Chains A and B, each alone.
Chain A
C-alpha cells in the first residue's frame, strides 16, 4: 500500500492522469512569470526525488497510464490557443514519459538531466509568452497573427524554442525520445509505437501553434521587436541546449 501511495504522489509531479490536472490547475492560477518558470523547472524534479527516496515497486499499469496521460495531453494540445496552457500541456505530456526510464532503472543523475533538458525550452516559452502578453495583452494564437512580419526577431526565437520543445534534432528531448524507443522496441513494441505517435502529435501541435502566431499579414499595432540582449540570452540558452543534446547523444546512445 505505501508503494501505491508513493506512486500516486509521484504521479502528481511526474504526471499521471487525473493527478496531472493538479499541475495545470496550479499553472493556470500562477500569474508571476518567475514562479511559472520555477514550476516548470522544479515540478518533475520533485517527482523524481520522491521516487528516488522511496524506491517503490512499480505496478504494470503505471507504464500504461503514463503513456495514456502523455498521449491525452499531446492530443489536447492540438486545439489549445493560449501559449502558457500549451506549454503546460506539453510539459505534462513530456514528464509523463519520464516514467519509462524510471521503470527501466535509468540512473538518478541521468533522470534529472532528462527532466531539466525537457523543461528548459518550456521555461523559455514562459518568458516568450510574457513578452507577447506585454506587447499585445494576450498570448493567444490566431488573435493577432502575422508576428513574422510585425516582430521578425521575436518570431524567429519563438519558432526555434517551439522546435526545441517538440523534440526536434539536435535538442536533448530528441535523443531522450530516441533512447526511449530503442529501450522499449524489443520488449514493449506497442509502447514504442505509442511514443512515436505522441512525438508526432507534438510536431502537429507545434506547427499549429507556429501557424497561429507567426503567419499572416503584419499587425496594425506598432510594437517593439526583441532587443539584441534578449536575442543573445535566448541564443546562448538554445546553443547550450544543442550542445547538451549532442553530448547526451554520446552518453545514452
Chain B
C-alpha cells in the first residue's frame, strides 16, 4: 500500500506532460485535467498519511536505481499532504484567476511541475533526488514568477529568486558530496543510521563531518527560507501571479525548515550549529517584522511578514523544537496562503471603502494623537519586566539549574506570549478601557500558547520523532551554556522593556519630539525604508561584477 507514494509523486508529472501534449486540443479544459490529477494525488497522500498515523513502518521505494529513491516516513508523507493540499487550493483558485492569461496551459504545466518538484523534494530518500528536486524548485519557480513575459520587472525579481536559490544549492551540493565521500552511499537512511551509530567517524578540514554538514545544510535552508541577508528575493517577487505568490509563501519558502528536519540526525551531533541557526532566525524574525511594519504595499508587507515567520520557524529549529517548526510551517502555510489569495479582493474592496474605523486605534496609529489613560501601560511594563524575571528565578532556583535552557522552546514561547499579550493589551486598550478584560485576554493568550504548545507540539513530536531519546537528543543539541542563556534572556527582556518605555513616552508626548530625537527617528526610519540598504549593496555588487565582465570582454577583444 505504501508503494502508492510513487503514484503520489508521479501524478503531477503525468498531468504536466498531458497538458503539454494536449493543450492545443482540449483548450481551457486543461485546467480541469490538472485539478483532477492534483485532487487524486492529494486523496492518495491523505490515505498514506492515515497509514503513517496508524504506525506504518518507514520504507524506501526505488524508481529504478539507487539514486532515485522515495522515502515513506512520517515527515515525508505529512509534508507531501500539506504541499498537495495547498497546491490543490492554488490550482482551484487559478482556474478562473488565470483564465485571461495568454499562456494559460503553460501556467498549469509549470504549476504541476512545481508540485512534482516539491513532492520529490520532501519524499527524497537519497541525496541525488534531494539535490535534483531542490535545484529544480528554483528553476521552475523562476519561470512561474516570470509568467507574464511582457513584464521586465517580474523577470528582474524572478531572477533575484533564482540566483538566491542557486546560491543556496551550493552548500547542499557540498554537503551531499561530503556525505557520499564519507559513507560511500547516497541513501539518506543508511547515512543517518551510520551517523547515529558513530557520529565522530569522519573529519573534514579538522572538524567533525556532522558539524560541517549541519552548517552547510543550515546555509542552504537560510537561502530557501529567506533568512536575513538572503531574504531580498521574497518581498520583491510580487509581480508574479497571485496564485504563485500564495504557493511560494505557503509552501516553497518553508523548504528550509523541512531540510533542517530531514537532517535532524546530523544536527544532533552538530556542536553549536543549532545555536547559530537560532541567532540567524532571531535576527530574521526581528528584521522581517520591523520591515513589515513600514510597508505601504499589502503584498510586500505580506512578503516581509513571511520573512519574519520564517525567522521564527528557523528559531524553533535552533532551540531543538524541530517538530514545532513543522507545525509552524503548516499553520503559517494555511494562514499566509489564505491571505495572499484574498489580497486581491481586499484591495478591490479598499478601493471602494477603506473600512478603517476612526476609533482610538486610528487616532493613535495614523494621526499620532496621544491617549490619556496610563494605568494599563504601567501594568504592561510590570508584566514585561516580571515575566522574564519569573522565568529566570524559577528556572535557576525552583526547578533546576538546566531545565529551561534545555527546553529553550518553552522560553521562546513565553517571550512570544509576552509580546503577543502586550499587543493585545495595547490594541484592546485603545478600543476600550476595561482593565479586567485586558487581563483576561492576556491570560487567555497564555493559555492558548501553553496548551497549543503542549498538545500540538507534543502530537507532532510523537508523530515525527516517536523515539523519546531522539527528541531529548535534539533538545540537548540545542542547549546553550548557562551564562549565554542568561545573557540572551536578559538582552531580550531589556529590549522589550526599552521598546515599551520608548512607546510610552512617545505616546504621552503625542510624538512631538525634540529636534534631535526627531532627526534620529527620521534617520532610523530612512534606514528601515531603504530596507537596511541590503538591496542597494547587492545592486552595487551586481553592477561591479557586470562591469568587470564587460571590461574583460573589451580587453580580450570578445574572444
Contacts and interface: CB of A to CB of B under 8 A. Distances in A.
Interface of A: 21, 24-25, 28, 72, 75-80, 85, 146, 148-149, 152, 155-156, 159, 163, 168-170, 174, 178, 181-182, 185-186, 189, 192-193, 196-197, 200, 203-204, 207-208, 211, 214-217, 249-250, 253
A250 B65 contact: yes
B102 A149 contact: yes
Interface string B131-164: 1100110010011001001111001100100110
B549 A192 contact: no
Given A79-B553, A168-B136, 12 more contacts: A24-B559, A75-B548, A78-B549, A170-B132, A174-B132, A196-B174, A200-B163, A200-B167, A203-B166, A207-B142, A215-B151, A216-B152
B192 interface: no
A207 B159 contact: yes
A78 B545 contact: yes
5 contacts: A75-B549, A77-B549, A168-B136, A203-B162, A203-B163
Contact of B136 (A148, A169, A181, A189): A169
A207 B159 CA distance: 7
B186 interface: yes
Q: Which of B65, B131, B549 has the most CB of A within 10 A?
A: B549
Contacts of A21: 556, 559
A85 B558 CA distance: 8
A149 B178 contact: no
A78 B163 contact: no
Interface string B171-210: 0011001101100001000000000000000000100000
Q: Which of A21, A79, A149, A217 has the most CB of B within 10 A?
A: A79
Contacts of B558: 24, 28, 85
A187 B156 CA distance: 38
Contact of A196 (B136, B173, B545, B546): B173
Contacts of B177: 178, 181-182, 185, 192
Contacts of B128: 178, 249, 253
Contacts of B205: 189
Given A75-B549, A200-B167, A169 B135 contact: yes
B546 A25 contact: no
Contacts of A189: 205
A214 B149 contact: yes
B59 interface: no
A155 B146 CA distance: 14
A72 B162 contact: no
Interface of B: 65, 67, 102-103, 106, 128, 131-132, 135-136, 139, 142-143, 146, 149-152, 155-156, 159, 162-163, 166-167, 170, 173-174, 177-178, 180-181, 186, 205, 545-546, 548-550, 552-553, 556, 558-559
A216 B146 CA distance: 11
Contact of B152 (A28, A76, A215): A215
B212 to A, nearest CB: 10
A174 B128 CA distance: 11
B559 A28 contact: yes
Contacts of B155: 211, 215
A76 B149 contact: no
B152 A200 contact: no
A149 B159 contact: no
B102 A185 contact: no
Contact of B162 (A25, A178, A207, A253): A207
Contact of B67 (A156, A203, A208, A249): A249
Q: Which of B139, B151, B559 has the most CB of A within 10 A?
A: B559
A228 B549 CA distance: 38
Contacts of B142: 207
Contacts of A72: 552
Contact of A182 (B143, B170, B180): B180
A178 B186 contact: no
A76 B162 contact: no
- Which secondary structure dominates chain A's binding surface? helix
Contacts of B150: 146, 149, 215-217
Given A196-B173, A215-B155, A204 B163 contact: yes
Contacts of B136: 168-169
Nearest to B153: A215
B459 to A, nearest CB: 36
Contacts of A200: 163, 166-167, 170
A168 B143 CA distance: 14
A78 B546 contact: yes
A214 B152 CA distance: 10
A104 to B, nearest CB: 14
Contacts of A217: 150
B166 A215 contact: no
A236 to B, nearest CB: 14
A206 B170 CA distance: 17
Contacts of B163: 200, 203-204, 207
Contacts of B65: 249-250
Contacts of B559: 21, 24-25, 28
Nearest to B178: A185
Contacts of A193: 174
Contacts of A149: 102, 149-150
B149 A178 contact: no
A253 B126 CA distance: 12
A13 to B, nearest CB: 16
Nearest to B149: A148
Contacts of B167: 200
Nearest to A185: B177
Contact of A192 (B106, B174, B180, B186): B174
Contact of B552 (A24, A75, A152, A197): A75
Closest 4 CB pairs of A and B: A148-B149, A24-B559, A169-B132, A185-B177
Contacts of A76: 549, 552-553, 556
B186 A168 contact: no
Contacts of A197: 170
Nearest to B545: A78
A17 B187 CA distance: 40
Contacts of A169: 131-132, 135-136
Nearest to A168: B139
B103 A152 contact: yes
B510 to A, nearest CB: 50
A196 B168 CA distance: 11
B492 to A, nearest CB: 37
A250 B65 CA distance: 7
Contact of B149 (A75, A85, A215): A215
B191 to A, nearest CB: 14
A163 B139 contact: yes
